[in-house]
Amino acid sequence: MKIIKGVLLDWAGTTVDYGCMAPVSSFMKVFKEKGISVTMEQTRKPMGMAKIDHIRTMLAMPEIRKQWEGNLSEADVHELNTLFEKYLFEELREYTDPVPGATKAVNELREMGLKIGTTTGYTREMMHIVCAGAAEKGYEPDVTVTADDVDAGRPYPWMAYYAAMKMGVFPMNRLVKVGDTTVDMKEGRNAGAWTVGLIYGSSELGLSEAEVMKLSEKERSIREATVREKLIEAGAHQVLLSIKDVPSYIRELDEKLSKVVELS
């Protein structure tokens, strides 16, 4: 590789936990316990943010806010976050399987000489569980950065900058950011990295592997177009069907960028 030196991957919905199911389940349980009705769409919309920011964003939605009785304080937000973490920790280890093709793709990227970094909306404590579970199944990146490590999570670029520093990769346009949510795309663009969105396995698609298998060709086409549009609107330079397509895309990108450098 002449230009691209590293890849910055998201975790849930990108490399593990097909469909990003673990956090969605926990968020919905939290609001149900508080007597607040939330939809799957509302729950998934802030996906990729630090989890406490995810809760703040959901509470700011008019349809949810009007269901909250009385004044809403920061103490209430922290109470909900504590409850969310309780539910998540109860089942998080069950959601550490790499998505199909992820381990092979990452191994291929390493063979291309690229550093493998990651950022996540999970906390460091959560990632101890996720990293251990994924490593047992063959996936172990070089660097993992959480929102706990910086002043603010996505869409701010701080996690991406910190990961790049830990990886020893600069400038930021030598990195390719890969994720499955709109906030992933914003993180990548705000950081100045080449930014790629994924459709299958993503939170934006929001389906399990079994549900995907049941889709008709027409349904697949419609859903693919919808997710692609969302990710491009959020800043993706490219949207791929799955993580399996990442190595070949990066080879093509590197080749194109190399020609530009040669001509300049």
Please give the model's pTM, rounded to 2 decimal places: 0.90
DSSP H helical segments within 60-118, as ranges?
Answer: 62-65, 74-91, 102-111
CATH code of residue 39: 1.10.150.240
CB of 96 closer than 8 Å to CB of 134: yes
Q: Let me know whether 41 and 86 are in one domain.
A: yes
What residues contact 62, with CB distance under 8 A and at least 6 apart? none
198/210 Cα distance (integer angstroms): 18
147 is in an annotated binding site: no
> Based on the domain organization, do 123 and 31 belong to the same domain?
no
Same domain, 77 and 203: no
pLDDT in tens, 120-164: 999 999 999 999 999 999 999 999 999 899 999 999 999 999 999
Q: Based on the fold, state whether residues 88 and 134 are members of the same structural domain.
A: no
Judge whether residue 72 has pLDDT over 90: no
51 is known as an active-site residue: yes
DSSP string, 27-66: HHHHHHHTT----HHHHHTTTTS-HHHHHHHHHTSHHHHT
CA–CA separation, 187 and 72 (whole Å): 28
Q: Which of 60, 94, 128 is the last residue of a domain?
A: 94
Instruction: Catalytic residue, from 5, 10, 115, 230: name it.
Output: 10
Catalytic residue among 5, 17, 45, 51: 51
Q: Which domain holds residue 27?
A: 21-94
CA–CA separation, 106 and 108 (whole Å): 5
For residue 10, say whether it is annotated as part of any ligand binding site.
Answer: yes
Residue 1 resides in a domain: no
Local confidence band at 263 (pLDDT 50, 70, 90 cut-offs):
low
Q: Is residue 113 part of a domain?
A: yes
Q: Note whether 189 and 78 are same-domain residues.
A: no
* Adjacency order of strands within the sheet including 175-179: 143-146, 115-120, 6-9, 175-179, 194-198, 238-240
Is 114 a domain residue?
yes
Domain boundary among 43, 63, 94: 94
Residue 192 lies in a domain: yes
Is the pLDDT assigned to residue 262 strictly greater than 90?
no
Strand, helix or coil for residue 99 = coil
What pLDDT is stored for residue 70 in this prediction? Answer: 81
Give the CATH number for residue 215: 3.40.50.1000
Whether the predicted pLDDT of 264 surpasses 80: no
Residues 166 and 177 in one domain: yes
∠17-19-24 over CA atoms, to 5°? 90
Please give the Cα distance from 56 to 177 (Å, whole number). Answer: 25
Query: 12 labelled as ligand-binding?
Result: yes
**pLDDT tens-digit series, residues 19-63:** 999 999 899 999 999 999 999 899 999 988 989 999 999 999 999
| Residues 13 and 143 reside in one and the same domain | yes
Rounded distance between C-alpha atoms, residue 146 and residue 85, angstroms? 15
% the chain with pLDDT above 90: 89
What pLDDT digit, counting tens, does each position of 160-207 carry? 999 999 999 999 999 999 999 999 999 999 999 999 999 999 999 999
Q: How many domains does the chain have?
A: 2
68 and 131: one domain? no
Asked whether residue 257 is assigned to any structural domain, the reply reads yes
Rounded to whole angstroms, the Cα distance separating 96 from 165 reads 26
144 and 131 in contact (C-beta within 8 Å)? yes
At 37, the amino acid letter reads: S
**Ramachandran area for residue 180 (φ above 0: left; ψ -120 to 50: alpha; else beta):** alpha
**Residues 47, 160 within the same domain:** no
Q: Residue 134: inside a domain, yes or no?
A: yes
Same domain? 124 vs 183? yes
